[in-house]
Amino acid sequence: MWGDCKYKILFSSLILCLIHNGSGLSRIDPLVDSKVGLIRGLRASDGDYSMFMGIPYATVDKSNPFGPATPHPVFDDIFEAYDDSAICPQIEEFNNTIVGTLDCLHINIYAPNSANSRNRLPVAVWIYGGGFSIGFSGRYLYGPRYFVNQDIILVTLNYRLGPYGFMSLNTPDVPGNQGLKDQRLALKWIKDNIEAFGGDSDKITIFGESAGGASVDLQFLYNQEKLFDKVIMQSGTAICPWAVIEPDTLAPLKLSEHLGFKTSNAEEALAFLATVDTNLVIAAASELDLMFRPTVEEGFDSDDKFIYDYPINVKKTNLRNVPILIGYNSDERLAQYETLPSADFAKLDLFNDHLQHFNLDDESFVEMEALLRHFYIGDEKISGNVKNELIKFDSDFWFNHPVQRTIQKYLDGGARNIYQYVFSYDGKRNFVKDRLNVTAAGAAHADEIGYFFDISYMGPPSLEDQVIIDRVTTLWANFVKFGNPTPVTTELLPVQWPSVTKESLNYLNIDSELKVEKRHYKSRMAFWDLFYKLNKNAQIGYEESSK
């Protein structure tokens, strides 16, 4: 693609473009002319694709690093897109160290060499998970090889996290959801510039896992312009109980005091925090156990509000032509309980804790707690003896049933092309189980990552794992290309994956074999359907007159 001389290539690169052809092109580093200027990438050494890494799409205001970012200006010179190491401030999960800078709003583009202006390829944009507090887009975890082999362009993006991404004061300067607005700026950049890389700007799919899946749903639910045409949500949606929370508007005062500057004025606190090293702010947020997540933006008027009401109140309609792929893993909360010391089970108060997500009076609270307890563990006390039941309860509350509710929400909105999956495969590349040395059977939260991405520290896949890699990336790539994960059956994909309907809740069970089944965990999901029907008005933020 990069030898297509329609692109403005400077000096010697232009001469090389004119002189060389055929195999000679593989020796030329790719250089493209985007709307923001010339960008030079690298030829990949592990496949027939090119990499454009660390492209800045937005800039953080140093005087207000907790506020909205602005689009990055155009490049005066050639931008050398060689570095994917940028990471936003956080305590990263691999070494538990504080890392990152605010110069982190970058994207990485991985394009097959077949992509050009005469052969525009569909685009998949990955939004990482990590509880809105950790995550990064580099190849250390999200190696692109498996996806670009499917003849699609893969884009990964960084967005701000923790206090820098999700502090909310409900003011125009710090409205909340800065990280989601970062994502939106990245999506605008991709929409505007991806054709320079051989991408099809009319075929952009956004996909993500956990907080990334919730981000995808939030972008879908609140989008004000057409920046993508398909969505994939893996183990996370906008109505997961952890996805949108009430903000802690005292957070800047707490952080400021913890770092040595006590004040009762939020603006003074923010001005102080803007001068403090990001590592110290991240450490303070951790030490104070502060939580920063997406929030409803209220209390001020602005055209740039992102989340204007709780997701449960927002109805999205006219979805007939929007393909949706959505699902979860078979045992989402497996790792949390398999790694919990036996003595710590007695300290858990799960049923009480989870009901804090509802506005219940005292009598109803006691009644609902008993109902949950009896359904999952009967008359048993919480202990390691009922570990499997606790895994089911926790998985259903945080992930499984929210996904089912989301499917129903979009069916009601007119969606006709919803494809549900359950990832059940248990192999050597199950990401979280591998990291935490969990040996119990099942697919834990985020375990599928190892089959979608070429994780740098994992060795070559086994033959069995390679089949799963080929299958899931083909299914996802088919969806990106056609809006249908199985447009035809093949030896690799021998089953037709039917869409969900109101009459038939089909799903594809992705295991050593692919099987089409119906109504996953049907008894437990029916229980939660009734629970939410009974407690509909007690949901935090619920309003009868939904929008």
Task: Work out whether strand 324-329 and strand 230-234 pair parallel, antiparallel, or are unpaired.
Answer: parallel
CA–CA distance, 67 with 240 (Å, rounded to integer): 25
Note the pLDDT of residue 544: 72
Strand partners, 37: 34
Strand partners, 157: 107, 127
Note the pLDDT of residue 304: 82
State the residue for tokens 């960008």.
39
Helix, strand, coil % in the chain, rounded to nearest 5: 35, 15, 50
Q: Where does residue 170 fall: left (phi above 0), alpha (psi -120 to 50 degrees), or beta otherwise?
A: left
pLDDT tens-digit profile of 237-274?
A: 999 999 999 999 999 999 999 999 999 999 999 999 99
**26 has a pLDDT exceeding 60:** no
Mean pLDDT for 192-217 is 98
**Cβ contact 79:39 at 8 Å:** yes
**12 has a pLDDT exceeding 60:** no
Mean pLDDT for 217-223 is 95
Give the structural domain span for 242: 11-347+374-538
Instruction: Tell me the torsion sign for CA atoms 435, 436, 440, 441.
Output: negative
CATH number of the CATH domain containing 195? 3.40.50.1820
pLDDT tens-digit profile of 461-510?
A: 999 999 999 999 999 999 999 999 999 999 999 999 999 998 999 999 99
Does residue 27 or residue 246 have the better pLDDT? 246
Note the pLDDT of residue 159: 98
Mean pLDDT for 32-44 is 97
352 lies in some domain: no
Strand partners, 123: 153, 204
Mean pLDDT for 205-230 is 96
DSSP structure string for 90-123: EE-TTT--EE--S---EEEEEEETT-BTTBPEEE
24 lies in some domain: yes
Mean pLDDT for 305-319 is 92
Note the pLDDT of residue 15: 33
Note the pLDDT of residue 32: 96
257 lies in some domain: yes
Note the pLDDT of residue 317: 85
Instruction: Tell me the torsion sign for CA atoms 442, 447, 448, 453.
Output: negative
Stretch among 32-36, 272-276, 318-322, 430-434 having the lowest mean pLDDT = 318-322
What confidence tier does 545 reach under pLDDT thresholds 50, 70, 90? low
Strand partners, 80: 40
**18 has a pLDDT exceeding 50:** no
Strand partners, 119: 116
Gyration radius from the chain CA atoms: 24
516 lies in some domain: yes
**Cβ contact 472:492 at 8 Å:** no
Q: Which residues contact 422 (CB under 8 A, 6 or more apart)?
A: 327, 328, 329, 330, 507, 508, 509, 510, 520
Strand partners, 326: 233, 420
Three-state DSSP at 428 gives coil
Distance of CA 441 to the CA centre of its chain: 25
Three-state DSSP at 55 gives strand
Average pLDDT, the chain: 93
**Cβ contact 508:421 at 8 Å:** yes
pLDDT tens-digit profile of 143-152?
A: 999 999 999 9
Say which of 13, 34, 133, 210 is annotated catalytic.
210
CA–CA distance, 136 with 128 (Å, rounded to integer): 7
What confidence tier does 547 reach under pLDDT thresholds 50, 70, 90? very low
CA–CA distance, 377 with 504 (Å, rounded to integer): 30
Instruction: State percent of the chain over pLDDT 90.
Output: 90
369 lies in some domain: no
Domain count, the chain: 1
Three-state DSSP at 525 gives helix
Neighbours of 316 (CB within 10 A): 19
Say which of 297, 332, 338, 448 is annotated catalytic.
332
pLDDT tens-digit profile of 67-120?
A: 999 999 999 999 999 999 999 999 999 999 999 999 999 999 999 999 999 999
366 lies in some domain: no
Instruction: State percent of the chain over pLDDT 70.
Output: 94
Q: Which residues contact 328 (CB under 8 A, 6 or more apart)?
A: 234, 235, 395, 399, 400, 403, 422, 423
What is the 8-class DSSP label of residue 73?
P
CA–CA distance, 532 with 295 (Å, rounded to integer): 22
State the residue for tokens 């493209």.
32
364 lies in some domain: no
User: Which of 333, 340, 449, 325 lies closest to 396, judged by CA?
Assistant: 333
**24 has a pLDDT exceeding 60:** no
Q: Which residues contact 482 (CB under 8 A, 6 or more apart)?
A: none
Neighbours of 380 (CB within 10 A): 12
What confidence tier does 224 reach under pLDDT thresholds 50, 70, 90? confident
- What are phi and psi for residue 234, nearest 5 degrees? -110, 110
CA–CA distance, 208 with 158 (Å, rounded to integer): 12
User: Which of 336, 261, 254 lies closest to 288, judged by CA?
Assistant: 254
Note the pLDDT of residue 325: 98
Three-state DSSP at 211 gives helix
Assess whether 332 carries a catalytic annotation. yes
Strand partners, 109: 52, 155
Q: Which helix (H) or strand (E) holds 43?
A: strand 42-43
Note the pLDDT of residue 302: 73
**Cβ contact 331:395 at 8 Å:** yes
Mean pLDDT for 12-18 is 36
Three-state DSSP at 127 gives strand
CA–CA distance, 373 with 360 (Å, rounded to integer): 17
356 lies in some domain: no
